[in-house]
Amino acid sequence: MKVLTEENLPLKEETVCTIGNFDGFHKGHRFILDRVIESSKRQGKSSLVITFEPHPKTVLSSGEKPCRITGLETKIDLLEDEGIDYLYIINFSREFARKDPEEFIKFLTEKLRCRTLIVGHDWKFGHQGKGDVQTAKQIGRKYGLKVEVIPPVKEEDKRISSTQIRNLLKKGKVEEVARYLGRDYCIKGKVEQGNRIGSQIGFPTINIKPPEDLCLKKGVYSGLVKLNGQLLPAVINYGNRPTVDGRETVLEAHIIGKKLSFKPEEVKIFFKKFIRDEKRFSDIDQLKNQIKADIQKAMKSLEVLK
């Protein structure tokens, strides 16, 4: 998959495209992406996803802003796994938000060469969200754009939504989240140098910087770490490490039963089950004993122990 910049525009080839935040990257999103790929292959065109960074509501909302389900790096990785050809990231700003619906459709067709646009039934676009799927169809006829509308995707008779997934993540319900995503909840990131306290107490960790304002409940989880194509069992901590310093929010994973002989550049962390809340311990020995107990619980939940 190629991430496009302004220098790549206008595209040479025609595309089948979709547009959205894709924050949850849930089953509903993946259904749309499957249709984009299927339609692009059938038409002999390239598949294109257009997304925003940052989330439009963080720019436009004067009230509470939505927490993040998926950071940009993870989103790019998931789109690549789906088999999308191109990704175009719009730097969302108040200026961009002032584009009227026709201006936006013109941009899609002339710069991104989109000939078929596939979106959800409730898609809105243009200044103050004045454009909807009917507007897009009407303007699209003028610019040679066909618009295909996808109905809501449901799980157990409930419409799947990013709002629903945010609420579950805030409660640490990653097992339930996996049902709506159609995959394990995961975060990908570049490995950072930690303060090596884990190594000093016998539990070395791989540390990545979590996306800002992540929806995930702070605490300890069982899960898997993907390294060089291999999935390794792990106990994961997301939080502020109150026993150690309590200042910085970190995401760290201790690989169970394996000592790494190298420092990976990036990893993907999969969350399987919430184990316990974040807690401050009176001393390091108490923390070490708790980590041992966390590892045992993680191993049982991952069925490492038979």
Statement to judge: residues 191 and 153 lie in one domain? no
Question: Lowest-pLDDT range, 136-150, 174-188, 199-213, 216-230?
Answer: 199-213
pLDDT higher at 221 or 209: 221
Statement to judge: residues 126 and 62 lie in one domain? yes
Cα–Cα separations (whole angstroms), residue 81 to 99, 222, 278: 32, 24, 33
Statement to judge: residues 232 and 147 lie in one domain? no
Of the candidates 86, 54, 48, 47, the residue with the CA atom closest to the CA atom of residue 70: 54
**What is the mean pLDDT of the segment spanning 16-39?**
95
Q: Are 171 and 19 in contact (CB under 8 A)?
A: no
Q: Token digits for 26?
A: 């849930």
Phi, psi of 224 (to 5 degrees): -135, 150
Count how many domains the chain has: 2
Of the candidates 184, 213, 232, the residue with the CA atom closest to the CA atom of residue 78: 184
Statement to judge: residues 32 and 115 lie in one domain? yes
Statement to judge: residues 216 and 110 lie in one domain? no
In which residue are the tokens 């409940």 written?
A: 217
Range of the domain at 212: 185-301
**What is the mean pLDDT of the segment spanning 49-77?**
89
For residue 37, the number of C-alpha atoms closer than 13 Å in the C-beta half-sphere is: 15
- The predicted model scores a pTM of 0.91
Whether the pLDDT of residue 304 is over 60: the answer is: no
Distance between CA 130 and CA 73 in Å, rounded? 30
Whether the pLDDT of residue 305 is over 50: the answer is: no
Mean pLDDT score across all residues of the chain = 91
- In this prediction, residue 240 has a pLDDT band, given cuts at 50, 70 and 90, of confident
- In this prediction, residue 195 has a pLDDT band, given cuts at 50, 70 and 90, of low
Q: Token digits for 147?
A: 């618009």
Statement to judge: residues 190 and 135 lie in one domain? no
CATH number reported for the structural domain that contains residue 232 in this entry: 2.40.30.30
